[in-house]
């Protein structure tokens, strides 16, 4: 399994072996599990032009755990290419969302541990998304296939980027705050990021056949799909999240003209975060490849 060199952190003890591919297409052991990799080793790797290293597929789970645990350090490494960090960020967030869906499907509610992992991932992501070059690297994901887990990742970074660049709208997300301190702004963005990542959590109760159907839904299938905002609210009802985040999950398919679902709300009855999610959700759907539709150009 190929992995980007940016995933390797100097001084950290990975619990898996790392290989490089020789010119004769042979895998050569480069680092043993439990051994620290030095900055000098990584520098030599970069100087030799190596663009990817390898991990045994049998150790995929260990590698993914390592990525999630060390995501903050990986994203803050100024020596690593932004496109590699963007790829790692996408992989970690996709795995967290997938796990949230699978756990919620089994429990019918949001597991507290999964929610904590989601919040930690979003905090790390905000540091990375703050950099303009990272946005350019993440933007390369636009136009890729529309899959539920990957879609959630794109909605996360687009939402945070949108609110960061539109402070007048961001200040209306939490009506209780008349004046935002920098700490409050950061906390608000983190909460919005969690809501963005979990906005479609109600789809955990929708069958894969409906979610991945190669064509328009039938009337019955469409009715099932339209329930996912209500399902999402039910799953998050007891979660320790602000009310405006839960409302956004419920309202993210409401339209300003009152023709959305599930409640047919209109105008100012739809909270600000839900309106932002509606725009971004639609943008990603329009610019992503579908089995039955080519993407529009951003």
- Asked whether residue 35 falls in the same domain as residue 151, the answer is no
- Asked whether residue 22 falls in the same domain as residue 75, the answer is no
- The pLDDT tens digits of the residues spanning 99-123 come to 888 887 767 778 888 889 999 989 9
- Asked whether residue 34 falls in the same domain as residue 91, the answer is no
What percent of the chain has a predicted confidence (pLDDT) above 90? 43
Which of helix, strand or coil describes residue 27? strand
Domain boundary among 21, 38, 59: 59
Mean pLDDT score, 58-73: 93
Q: State residue 234's pLDDT score.
A: 94
Domain interval for residue 49 = 1-59
Domain boundary among 59, 81, 103: 59
Is position 11 within any domain? yes
Burial class for 179, CB neighbours closer than 10 Å (0-12, 13-18, 19+)? exposed
Is position 176 within any domain? yes
- Asked whether residue 232 falls in the same domain as residue 259, the answer is yes
List of residues 6+ apart from 295 with CB closer than 8 A: 143, 286, 287, 288, 289
- Average pLDDT of every residue of the chain: 87
Helix, strand, coil shares, percent, the chain, to 5: 60, 5, 35
- Asked whether residue 209 falls in the same domain as residue 280, the answer is yes
Is position 28 within any domain? yes
CA distances to 145, 266, 268 from 294, in Å:
10, 30, 34
- The pLDDT tens digits of the residues spanning 177-198 come to 665 678 888 899 999 999 999 9
- The pLDDT tens digits of the residues spanning 247-269 come to 999 999 999 999 999 999 999 99
In the block, tokens 């541990």 appear at: 113
Is position 274 within any domain? yes
The answer to whether 53 and 20 have CB atoms below 8 angstroms apart is yes
- Asked whether residue 28 falls in the same domain as residue 98, the answer is no
- Asked whether residue 139 falls in the same domain as residue 8, the answer is no
Identify the CATH number of the domain in which residue 188 sits.
Answer: 1.10.3210.10
Domain boundary among 59, 85, 106: 59
> By mean pLDDT, which of 129-138, 177-186, 242-251 is the weakest?
129-138
- The pLDDT tens digits of the residues spanning 83-100 come to 888 889 888 988 888 888
Is position 291 within any domain? no
Supply the pTM of this predicted model: 0.85
Which of helix, strand or coil describes residue 155? helix
* Domain count across the chain: 2
CA distances to 84, 89, 170, 250, 256 from 271, in Å:
36, 29, 12, 10, 10
Distance CA 154, CA 89 (A): 11
- Asked whether residue 174 falls in the same domain as residue 203, the answer is yes
Q: What confidence tier does 62 reach under pLDDT thresholds 50, 70, 90?
A: very high
The tokens for 57 are 């597929």
Q: What confidence tier does 144 reach under pLDDT thresholds 50, 70, 90?
A: low
- Asked whether residue 51 falls in the same domain as residue 110, the answer is no
């Amino acid at each position: 399994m190929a992995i980007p060199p940016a995933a390797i952190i100097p001084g950290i003890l990975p619990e898996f072996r790392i290989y490089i591919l020789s010119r004769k297409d042979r895998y050569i052991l480069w680092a043993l599990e439990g051994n620290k990799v030095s900055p000098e080793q990584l520098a030599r790797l970069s100087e030799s032009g190596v663009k990817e290293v390898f991990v045994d597929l049998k150790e995929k789970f260990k590698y993914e755990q390592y990525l999630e645990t060390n995501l903050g350090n990986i994203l803050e490494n100024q020596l690593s290419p932004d496109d590699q960090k963007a790829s790692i960020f996408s992989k970690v967030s996709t795995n967290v969302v997938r796990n949230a869906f699978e756990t919620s499907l089994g429990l019918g509610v949001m597991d507290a541990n999964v929610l904590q992992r989601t919040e930690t991932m979003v905090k790390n992501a905000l540091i990375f998304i703050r950099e303009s070059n990272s946005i350019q690297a993440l933007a390369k994901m636009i136009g890729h296939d529309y899959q539920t887990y990957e879609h959630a990742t794109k909605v996360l970074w687009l939402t945070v980027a949108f609110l960061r660049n539109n402070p007048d709208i961001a200040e209306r997300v939490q009506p209780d705050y008349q004046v935002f301190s920098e700490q409050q702004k950061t906390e608000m963005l983190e909460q919005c990021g969690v809501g963005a990542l979990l906005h479609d959590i109600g789809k955990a109760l929708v069958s894969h056949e409906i979610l991945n159907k190669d064509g328009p839904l039938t009337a019955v299938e469409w009715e099932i799909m339209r329930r996912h905002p209500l399902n999402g609210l039910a799953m998050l009802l007891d979660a320790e999240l602000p009310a405006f985040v839960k409302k956004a999950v419920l309202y993210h398919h409401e339209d300003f003209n009152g023709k959305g679902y599930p409640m047919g709300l209109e105008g100012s009855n739809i909270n600000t975060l839900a309106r932002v999610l509606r725009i971004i959700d639609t943008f990603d759907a329009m610019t992503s490849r579908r089995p039955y539709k080519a993407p529009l150009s951003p």
